Amino acid sequence: MDEHNITTGNQTSALFRALGKANDFFFGDANAGPTFAAFRLWVDGNIIAAAGFNRAQIKSWLPSSLRVPDSDIDHWIGTVAQDLLDNLESLKSELKPTAPLPAGAVETTEEDNGDGEPDDDRNALGDEELLEFLFSRGMLPSYAFPTDLTSFLVEKLVKQANGTWKMEILERPQQGIGKALSEYAPGRLIVINKETYRSGGVTANVLPTVHDRAPELFDDISELVHCNTCSFVRDLENEDGAQTECPVCGGELERTRMIKPQVFLPEDGRALPEDDREQEITYATSAQFPVPVGANDLPELRRLGPNLAFEVTTDRRLVTVNKGQTQNEASQGFWICDKCGRAEGEEPAHAPHERPYKIEFAFNQPKPSKLCMGTFQNVFLGHVFATDLLLMRFTLAPPMAVDTSSPVVLRAIEDALYSISEALRLAASRHPQLDLDPSEFGSGFRIVPSNDADQLHLDVYLYDTLSGGAGYAELAGRCLNAILADVLKLLENCPAKCDRSCESCLRHYHNQHLKDRLDRFIGAQLLRYGLSGELPRELTAAIQSADLAGLARLLQLDGFTCTPLAHVDGATVPLMVARGSHRALIGTQSGLLQEHWDGHSLAQLLGREQGRVLNEFILRRNLPDEHQLIRSLFPS
């Protein structure tokens, strides 16, 4: 402003108006204000030129150890500067110079109340404002510097003085795409400035003059190979179509097309009436690290314990996906029109439908039809990004349960991994060397089948939510021993002494949809096994008996005699169940152990007596099933 003698006040008093219109920047006179031509000359002379003053400054800021695609940091600085100019040139091609409104011209809107003033005083800056224009295209950083921004766009048509109807942006809240996949997903309610909208459209980030805003999304469509039964996602770059069976659980692999949303739009392009607040809530998965096909995709790991190793690995591609509602254990995805982007949760009738936005048109043109003739496609909404990982690999072998084709074993292992990954995220963020908001981290897991049928690999990873990595995962790797000690403490010593998980240990707002999967006890058992090789401990007979108290009450209602802490042949049995001349001895063991493990204290007695060692994991979640199992031991 000092160099170009721009008068402060009025237009420049608002931040987003300070640099003027996008058209003024790209097509304006260099002597009248900041322009692209002037900026290009400045970048060429000060940064791209080998002797440029700012190029030397930038080089002095950067550490010599910085990882860059080019071997020479100095050359890389010039490459980045040239890429910026090329991107701006590409954006310039989207615009056309527009003539300013005549002096004294008054705009009217569809909601004009007749006195020349619009009813809605929430008119926001249009897309022509330079800063808004650059934000909307991800050219400028927002909070935490996400590089992949997704908008929820609220628009309306504004009538110009010459009779042309032009689109104006009312609201444009933005989120990093990782959050937007859940919070802006079709069917969700979004409250903006006291108005409630329901998300009902998914489009590309194009100009409002484009009639069909969605085709660009379908031009860049990809395919996700996944399993509906477990968490398996196959390597995104593998094109082998022969694999149809999930290598983890044996289920059938599904192939679903996936698009990356750039802009979400409100249903029918408007706010909801006061009496309509229904919504469909769906969540994106935590970022998943696809399982490789064939060769191992990790460098040599460093040993942490007998069954646990780790490494910090860089530039790994992760995928986060919103698969829509689940019905009959199958992900339903979303139905998105391939022309206008209208979104539906269920397959709509194949007939013309209204667009989720209106179309600009000139005064001498007929008003465009509201109806779109596009076809609805069933897709997932997803995002692939590269970042750094702190990865820990558990190696399981008998007597630990390794048969993931068993739904019970698979569920127990996944719940343990969910619990460890959430605890790792919290403990790492609280470590004194990091001291970060937990949202700066993401965590996840994957199950990697081994070539050895008696061995199973489980990967738990921590990643930087900032695409490309911020160095937090690497720093956490340096402090990993202390962090894992805190993880174990968090899992084993909940301040509220909860039975599985609560807000005092593992639960928080961002993982509320996982509360049924979090179990701090089974998570602690798996972590101890990795760190020390210690098998899940058998609980004392008194604790086993307390865990079996609910089962005993059900059996007593059926006429069985239940004796807790019974003494049989010199051994203490957690629960003895009797009816007539028959009796059964009952104990419990960890859900991470094989079903017929012979290391339980009742193993020798059960060689001579009738009874069962029940799975603690099932007992806590499906008591009626265990009740029927014990009843079946007795003659009817």
pLDDT per position as a tens digit, 213-228: 999 999 989 999 999 8
pLDDT at 5: 57
pLDDT at 112: 45
What value does the mean pLDDT take over residues 85-110? 67
pLDDT at 481: 95
Residue closest to 298 by CA, chosen among 284, 313, 309? 313
Residues 403-430 as b/e (b if ≥16 CB within 10 A, e otherwise) read: bbeeebbbbbbbbbbbbbbbbbbbbbbe
Q: Which long-range contacts (CB under 8 A, 24 or more apart) does 49-58 make?
A: 50/78, 55/81
Q: What percent of the chain has pLDDT over 90?
A: 56
Would the pLDDT of 12 be above 80? Answer: no
Residue closest to 460 by CA, chosen among 201, 223, 286? 286
Confidence of residue 330 (pLDDT cuts 50, 70, 90): confident
Q: What is the DSSP string of 73-84?
A: HHHHHHHHHHHH
Does 11 or 606 have the greater pLDDT score?
606
Residues 180-206 as b/e (b if ≥16 CB within 10 A, e otherwise) read: bbbbbbbbbbbebeebbbbbbbbbbbb
Where along the chain do its domains lie?
1-100, 385-532, 541-631
Task: Identify residue 245 by its one-letter amino acid code.
Answer: E
Would the pLDDT of 107 be above 70? Answer: no
What value does the mean pLDDT take over residues 479-490? 96
Let me know: does 620 contact 595? Beta carbons within 8 Å. no
Q: How far apart are CA 307 and CA 304, in angstroms?
A: 8
Q: How far apart are CA 544 and CA 575, in angstroms?
A: 8
Does 536 or 234 have the greater pLDDT score?
536
Q: Could you tell me if residue 343 is left (phi over 0), alpha (psi between -120 and 50 degrees) or otherwise beta?
A: beta
What value does the mean pLDDT take over residues 525-550? 96
What value does the mean pLDDT take over residues 350-377? 85
pLDDT at 360: 82
Q: How far apart are CA 217 and CA 145, in angstroms?
A: 24
Which run of H or of E encompasses 22? helix 22-27
Helices (DSSP H) in 319-465: which residue ranges?
A: 407-430
Let me know: does 391 contact 298? Beta carbons within 8 Å. yes
Highest mean pLDDT among 54-58, 71-75, 346-350: 54-58
Would the pLDDT of 9 be above 60? Answer: no
Would the pLDDT of 295 be above 70? Answer: no
pLDDT at 240: 64
Q: How far apart are CA 103 and CA 161, in angstroms?
A: 11
Does 165 or 390 have the greater pLDDT score?
390
pLDDT at 533: 95
Q: What percent of the chain has pLDDT over 70?
A: 88
pLDDT at 30: 65
What value does the mean pLDDT take over residues 266-293? 90
What value does the mean pLDDT take over residues 552-574? 94
Please give the CATH number for the structural domain made up of 541-631.
Answer: 3.40.960.10
Would you tell me how many other CB atoms lie within 10 Å of the CB of residue 392? Answer: 26
Would the pLDDT of 120 be above 60? Answer: no
Q: How far apart are CA 159 and CA 161, in angstroms?
A: 7
Confidence of residue 622 (pLDDT cuts 50, 70, 90): very high
Q: What is the DSSP string of 589-624?
A: E-TTB-TT-TTSTTHHHHTTS-EEEEEHHHHHH-HH
Confidence of residue 286 (pLDDT cuts 50, 70, 90): confident
pLDDT per position as a tens digit, 163-204: 788 888 888 898 888 889 999 999 999 999 899 999 999 999
Q: What is the mean pLDDT of the chain?
A: 86
Minimum mean pLDDT range among 119-128, 323-332, 542-551, 577-586: 119-128
Confidence of residue 368 (pLDDT cuts 50, 70, 90): confident
Does 561 or 211 have the greater pLDDT score?
561
| Cβ neighbourhood burial of 93 (10 Å; 0-12, 13-18, 19+) | exposed
Which run of H or of E encompasses 490? helix 480-492
Confidence of residue 118 (pLDDT cuts 50, 70, 90): very low
pLDDT at 631: 95
Would the pLDDT of 102 be above 70? Answer: no
Q: How far is CA 121 from CA 74, 112, 118, 125, in A?
A: 50, 11, 7, 12
Would the pLDDT of 111 be above 70? Answer: no
pLDDT at 366: 78
Contacts of residue 489, Cβ cutoff 8 Å, sequence gap at least 6: none
Would the pLDDT of 444 be above 90? Answer: yes
DSSP 11: G
Would the pLDDT of 469 be above 70? Answer: no
